[in-house]
């Protein structure tokens, strides 16, 4: 029922029947801001099905929407929250969630604290993934920002300390964030969906998450340089079917990460209408899975990704962009169930990489309404123990080495 509602709203906008405005109002002499967004996309691929959708025949199962409310209780204290819902193939499945809900108190410009369900600061865009209307691209570079894992990456339940420290002698500013909290995945997420292809069905997945981000606004106008680090201690609970003894039915399973960390380095330069971004990300995950007392397998996955992107505002209502995204993965498994996970160490093979060349155009038809048209030209499919867009469940005949994709997306915001 929710999907037709979103499509009707977007259809009305296309017909130009009404305009969308932010709904701000006063409460106890304080301004309350109400903002929202909705988008509908269509994806077509020439070979492999992508992002759990039946894209080889064209798919419109690409919808998301959200609503947020925020206000300043005092000059230093601010509160806000956002509800969010999406349907991206098998992800989200129209199960609404509290995307973030935060209380933020800024003692000084150089020191503030915030707590609740707080957006995770990791690289340039992890904490702004919900602000699609600010970007030229329909999809962020998937080597660093896989949309499969949005639910796992967007926020943590915990607290941050943050601030901006000006440097002497005109050397710019340092912006820092340090955080700790708990990650809790939706079961309609990439990790859980990929695990189901191995007959492993998670009922919960999450754990401790802590890290920090340091970024330097350099003296060179428009140049930002930064680095992020995230550590996690994750536990998954669920059931599995032993392929060597399927008659035993569903058996208990527990997974625990022995090591889980991400390093991310980035730079951004804005000069007038031109914006150039680049990021590098390395993710290492070492997980042990058992059936209570017996080891099932231990897997070490090493993911490396980077991209370079550029966008240019050609005119008021037209922006063009392009990026090159490069992703590779290695995976090695030991233990009794290791035969289910053949070793993947040669990143030159299509199964162990995705190289994506992208061109994009954004048309701003109204202040609040945009349409994006984007082409992806992918080499490789990266089918491994890490979610990366290509899944065996929707590609039962196997994978082709190359995939071209057309993404069309329209969105509103207020």
> What pLDDT score was predicted for residue 27?
72
- Is position 181 within any domain? yes
Main-chain dihedrals φ then ψ at residue 54, nearest 5 degrees:
-85, 65
Distance CA 286, CA 70 (A): 39
Which of residues 301 and 244 earns the better pLDDT score? 301
Mean pLDDT of all residues in 228-235: 97
Predicted confidence band of residue 182 (pLDDT cuts 50, 70, 90): very high
Specify which residues 193 forms β-bridges with: none
Domain extent, residue 257, equals 113-413
Instruction: Determine how many CB atoms are found less than 10 A away from the CB of residue 317.
Output: 13
Residue 71 Ramachandran class (φ > 0 left, ψ -120 to 50 alpha, else beta): beta
Residue 54 lies in a domain: no
Region 336-357: mean pLDDT is: 95
Q: What is the pLDDT of residue 293?
A: 74
pLDDT higher than threshold 90 for residue 136: yes
- Overall average pLDDT of the 119-127 stretch: 97
pLDDT, position 242: 86
Percent of the chain exceeding pLDDT 70 equals 94
The answer to whether residue 323 sits within a structural domain is: yes
66 SS3 class? strand
Q: Which residues of 365-390 are buried (b: 16+ CB within 10 A; e: fewer)?
A: eeebbbebebebebebbbbbbbbbbb
The residue whose two tokens read 């409460």 is: 27
- Judge whether 69 lies within some domain: no
227 pLDDT higher than 70? yes
The answer to whether residue 2 scores a pLDDT higher than 50 is no
Q: What pTM, to 2 d.p., does this model score?
A: 0.92
CA distance 233 to 143: 23
Is residue 20 assigned to a domain? no
Instruction: Answer yes or no: is 42 within a domain.
Output: no
- Specify the pLDDT at position 400: 98
Average pLDDT over residues 196-221: 96
Q: What total number of domains does the chain contain? A: 1
- Tell how strand 77-88 and strand 97-108 pair up: antiparallel
Write out the DSSP string of 237-254: EEEEE-TTSGGG-EEEEE
Q: What is the pLDDT of residue 235?
A: 96
The pLDDT value recorded for residue 18 is 47
Per-residue pLDDT band for 340 (boundaries 50, 70, 90) equals confident
Look at residue 353 in the predicted model and tell me its pLDDT.
98
Identify the pLDDT of residue 25.
Answer: 74
Residue 23: pLDDT above 80? no
Instruction: Look up the CATH number of the domain holding residue 272.
Output: 2.40.128
Contact by Cβ (8 Å): 32, 69: yes
SS3 394: helix
Q: Where are the beta strands (DSSP E) in 17-123?
A: 25-27, 30-45, 59-72, 77-88, 97-108, 111-119
- Least confident residue range of 10-24, 187-201, 256-270, 360-374: 10-24
CA distances from 239 to 49, 68, 87 (A): 27, 36, 25
3-state secondary structure of 170: helix
145 part of a folded domain: yes
Name the phi and psi angles at 248, rounded to 5. Answer: -75, -10
For residue 382, being part of any structural domain is answered with yes
C-beta of residue 76 within 8 angstroms of C-beta of residue 66: no
- Kindly indicate the confidence band of residue 21, based on its pLDDT and cuts at 50, 70 and 90: low
- State the alpha helices, DSSP H only, in 109-238: 150-153, 190-196
Give the mean pLDDT of 75-97. Answer: 96
Mean residue pLDDT of the chain comes to 93
Any idea what DSSP says for residue 153? H
């Amino acid at each position: 029922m929710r999907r037709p509602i979103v499509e009707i709203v977007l259809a009305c906008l296309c017909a130009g029947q009404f305009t969308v405005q932010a709904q701000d109002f006063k409460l106890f002499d304080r301004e309350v801001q109400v903002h929202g967004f909705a988008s509908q996309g269509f994806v077509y691929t020439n070979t492999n099905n992508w992002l759990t959708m039946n894209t080889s025949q064209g798919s419109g199962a690409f919808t998301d929407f959200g609503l947020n409310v925020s206000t300043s209780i005092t000059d230093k204290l601010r509160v806000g929250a956002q509800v969010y819902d999406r349907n991206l193939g098998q992800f989200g499945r129209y199960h609404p969630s509290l995307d973030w809900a935060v209380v933020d108190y800024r003692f000084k410009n150089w020191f503030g604290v915030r707590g609740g369900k707080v957006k995770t600061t990791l690289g340039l865009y992890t904490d702004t993934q919900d602000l699609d209307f600010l970007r030229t691209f329909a999809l962020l570079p998937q080597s660093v920002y896989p949309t499969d894992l949005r639910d796992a990456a967007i926020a943590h339940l915990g607290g941050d300390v943050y601030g901006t420290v000006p440097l002497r002698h005109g050397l710019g500013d340092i912006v820092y964030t340090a955080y700790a909290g708990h990650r809790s995945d939706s079961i309609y997420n990439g990790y859980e969906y990929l695990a189901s292809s191995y007959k492993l069905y998670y009922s919960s997945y999450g754990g401790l998450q802590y890290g920090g981000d340091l970024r330097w606004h350099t003296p060179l106008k428009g140049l930002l340089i930064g680095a992020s680090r995230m550590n996690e201690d994750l536990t998954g609970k669920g059931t599995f079917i032993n392929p060597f003894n399927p008659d035993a039915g569903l058996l208990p399973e527990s997974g625990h990460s022995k090591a889980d960390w991400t390093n991310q380095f980035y730079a951004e330069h804005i000069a007038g209408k031109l914006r150039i971004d680049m990021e590098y990300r390395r993710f290492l995950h070492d997980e042990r899975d058992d059936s209570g007392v017996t080891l099932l397998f231990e897997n070490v996955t090493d993911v490396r990704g980077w991209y370079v992107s550029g966008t240019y505002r050609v005119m008021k209502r037209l922006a063009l962009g392009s990026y090159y995204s490069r992703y590779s993965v290695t995976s090695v498994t030991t233990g009794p169930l290791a035969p289910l996970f053949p070793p993947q160490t040669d990143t030159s093979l299509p199964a162990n990489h995705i190289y994506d060349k992208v061109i994009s155009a954004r048309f701003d038809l109204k202040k609040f309404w945009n349409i994006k048209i984007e082409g992806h030209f992918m080499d490789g499919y990266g089918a491994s123990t890490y979610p990366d867009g290509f899944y065996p469940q929707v590609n039962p005949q196997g994978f082709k080495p190359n995939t071209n994709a057309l993404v069309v997306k329209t969105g509103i915001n207020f």
